[in-house]
Structures are given as C-alpha cells and as structure tokens.
Amino acid sequence: MRMILNKLGVVLISASMLVGCKAVQNANNTQKGAGIGAVGGAVLGGILGNNIGKGGNSELGAVLGGVVGGVAGGIIGRKMDKQAERIEEEIPGAVVERVGESINVIFDEESGIYFDTSKSNINAKSEQTLQRLQKILADYADTNISISGHTDSSGAEAYNLQLSKNRAESVAAYLKTHGLDPLRFSVQWYGETKPKYDNSTAEGRSKNRRVELGIVANEKMQKEAIEEAKKQ
C-alpha cells in the first residue's frame, strides 16, 4: 500500500502547523488522521486535498476537504485501514492509497476495470471486479464515494473528456443499480488532463486510461467517531 503523504510539498502558514505536518508525515495510517486534527483540522485537510489533487493527480483531492482530525480522525482512520485491506485482498491489482482519513483506489487496464477502445459500457471482466467492489462498499455503508474518469492523450481532447465522463458514469451507474445508495456517489471526469504516467509509451497510456475512486467517511461516521472520541 503506497503512502503518498510523505511525498506532499505542503506550504503551511505558521510554525505550529509546520511542526504538525512533520508529525503527520512520520505517522502510520491511523495516526495520520489524528495528527491532522492536531494542526488545524479542516484547514489543513483542505491544504492537503488541494495539493494531492493538483500535484499527485489523485481523486483524494476532491474528498479530503472535510477532514475531522484529532482522536476522532484516528478512529475513522482505523476503519479506513480495514476497508483498504479488504480491497487489496479481494481485488488484486487495484492500487490502494491510504491518506489520513480517506482511501484512493485506482483501476486501470491491468487491474480489473477497463473499457474497450472508444467504449464506455461495462465489459464482462470489469463487471467481475465491480461485483467484488460492490460487496465491500456495501459492508462499509458509512462512506461516500467519488468516482473520476481519465484517459490517455490519444485522440482529440474534447473527445477524451466526454469519454472519461461516460466511463466514470458507467461505473457509478453499475454500483448504484446493484444495491448501493445513489446519494453516496459523486462523479468527475478529466479526460487527458491528469496523466499519472508517460503518454509517449504504450504502458503509460494503458495506465492513464483509468478510473479512480476516492472513499471518505460520511456525516454519520464522522459524528459517531466524534462521540466515541469524547468518551476516551
């Protein structure tokens, strides 16, 4: 499991926040959630989210703004650890990144969810992966899911943007129509604008044709974590 917090170049606005960020960088997954709260909660969460989204091209940039932090953040972090481990165990090949209180999951042509050339419908192999993912998400109902679509740079930019939209919406529609609450989902699409790999190589283009999921605690989980933290 990759830890991408260590790679962030976050510009902080005070010496105390700088010290706090150092603590977050050196913490484990659960501790990162608590460490964020110690240095500014949602404020630092927003800074982290913006940097992840812009620099790391991660779907977590869209979901990290509402960080709870503190002891409650640590409680959420432990729950997210368990969910991330299940995704890794049951969907081999998916790239699972844990950051603070959130999870980022990347699917490309090598890891279970992919689309035929110029198509956006769910094919048989992708459906098998989505069935496993649906069961995991159903077991962790107190989370919200942000789905984003991406393409490589082949073809016209406008065409790629629409294709990435169609593919992200296809994944969301599949999960919604197979028992998951539609209110848990949001969908974004970026076309070729957020590559993670070199589009000049066949391997890079294959990995850039991807769908990402950002998984974050919903309001219910956050409130329960805050109440549990008060008792500790």
Higher per-residue confidence, 39 vs 95: 95
CATH for 5-230 is 3.30.1330.60
Question: pLDDT tens digits, residue range 72-95?
Answer: 999 999 999 999 999 999 998 899
For the chain, the domains span 5-230
Mean pLDDT of the chain: 78
Q: What is the mean pLDDT of residues 31-60?
A: 40
Q: In whole angstroms, what is the distance from residue 123 CA to residue 139 CA?
A: 24
Is the C-alpha dihedral spanning 103, 122, 55, 68 positive or negative? negative
Whether the Cβ atoms of residue 145 and residue 214 lie closer than 8 Å to each other: yes
Q: Is the pLDDT of residue 218 over 80?
A: yes
Name every residue whose Cβ is closer than 8 Å to that of residue 95 and which is 6 or more positions away in sequence. Answer: 2, 105, 106, 107, 111
Question: pLDDT tens digits, residue range 5-34?
Answer: 433 333 322 333 333 333 333 344 544 444
Query: 50: number of CA atoms within 13 Å, CB side?
Result: 8
**How much of the chain, in percent, has pLDDT values that exceed 90?**
59
pTM of the model: 0.75
